[in-house]
A = this chain, B = another copy of it.
């Protein structure tokens, strides 16, 4: 086996040193009846070329057309430097930087990550990453429960449906109650006043995604005020990190939880992505996940290390803030490289391009909601079903939007469409044409 750095002579010599005759003897403590008597049914090992060819073949079976899918996974340019950095063995093949003296590169980059997330979200502290946006949001909810000592969560119906599902999975066994605040059928945004009515003395947090699943901006300010009035926290969730380049952070939010996939991570059929939670300094000890802090080495020079680990499972065990251990460090590093390469100006320009593209496309389609939007919006299919329009687009080798009936039965005639800096005018015109064909009865 080409991965194994041993010759037979090496093995023999080592066995001899141990005082054994055969490798099998190393397993003699395992009861014989538990030992496999025949090889696993997995076939022979393949060459590197065959392995790669297998995956290339699977790749060819997937479509790689231009697409207007967003809904929590976005298509954005990926600066070449991202993979260059993430491919360096010194980042790729290290593990959690427990040994600070030989992990300063990872630690410094996480410290930069935490800082940039704070700059983007307007928060004071951010952790080193969570599995994804959905678990980040869910852990934010658990965090709010710990902070407030309450056990009820009000979540906007405009939060990504799969994120809400994850919240419910976790909530079910924690005796946590989850209540949904509906969206206004006209604007697509949460009605802050109605949400306020749902907040009660047991409510730990109001969770809103903005831009929400429909792409619509939520009234975060008003929501924060309502939440605070009720003694609850406001959790701001984002799925499209690029929006942070243009949208003002909500200064009254208590926790921001989001997904960083847009920052140089390809859609990758759903993962690995990276979630993150940012919050106020005062809540830091309730943050789940790893944190890197600045300190000094024994000679007084700036150094970084993992810190506040008494929050974590390996110290606090069943009383930890979370059970998370392995996180999404390499993905967070990729996001850090992305943020560095785009930088202050670039991130804004990127957001502006997204805005322009989506508004160009939206201008040609019948929008379902009136709320302000960033790079996603809901369009109503007229004259044909969303699925039918998508089929017509597929014939032009374009993947259309996401039919919403699956998540929102009341929106069964609608599609969620996303345009990014990668969307080309011709492609958008083709989408507009398909909608027009449908509306005009030509489909």
| A contact set with B: CB distance below 8 Å | 47-49, 52, 77, 79-80, 84, 87-88
Smallest Cβ distance from A76 to chain B, in angstroms? 10
The CA of A80 and the CA of B48, in the complex, are separated in Å by 8
The CA of A87 and the CA of B89, in the complex, are separated in Å by 11
The CA of A49 and the CA of B47, in the complex, are separated in Å by 33
Identify which of B48, B77, B79, B84 contacts A79 (C-beta below 8 A). B48
Of chain B, the residue at the smallest CB distance from A421 is B49
Of chain B, the residue at the smallest CB distance from A52 is B80
Identify which of B49, B77, B88 contacts A77 (C-beta below 8 A). B49
What chain B residues lie within 8 Å of A84 (beta carbons)?
87
What chain B residues lie within 8 Å of A88 (beta carbons)?
88
Of chain B, the residue at the smallest CB distance from A341 is B2
What chain B residues lie within 8 Å of A48 (beta carbons)?
77, 79-80
The CA of A52 and the CA of B79, in the complex, are separated in Å by 11
What chain B residues lie within 8 Å of A80 (beta carbons)?
48, 52
Of chain B, the residue at the smallest CB distance from A84 is B87
The CA of A87 and the CA of B85, in the complex, are separated in Å by 11
The CA of A87 and the CA of B79, in the complex, are separated in Å by 16
What chain B residues lie within 8 Å of A47 (beta carbons)?
77
Of chain B, the residue at the smallest CB distance from A422 is B49
Of chain B, the residue at the smallest CB distance from A83 is B87
Smallest Cβ distance from A7 to chain B, in angstroms? 11
What chain B residues lie within 8 Å of A79 (beta carbons)?
48
The CA of A79 and the CA of B3, in the complex, are separated in Å by 13
The CA of A84 and the CA of B77, in the complex, are separated in Å by 23
What chain B residues lie within 8 Å of A77 (beta carbons)?
47-49
**Cβ-closest 6 pairs across A and B:** A49-B77, A48-B80, A48-B79, A87-B87, A84-B87, A88-B88
What chain B residues lie within 8 Å of A49 (beta carbons)?
77
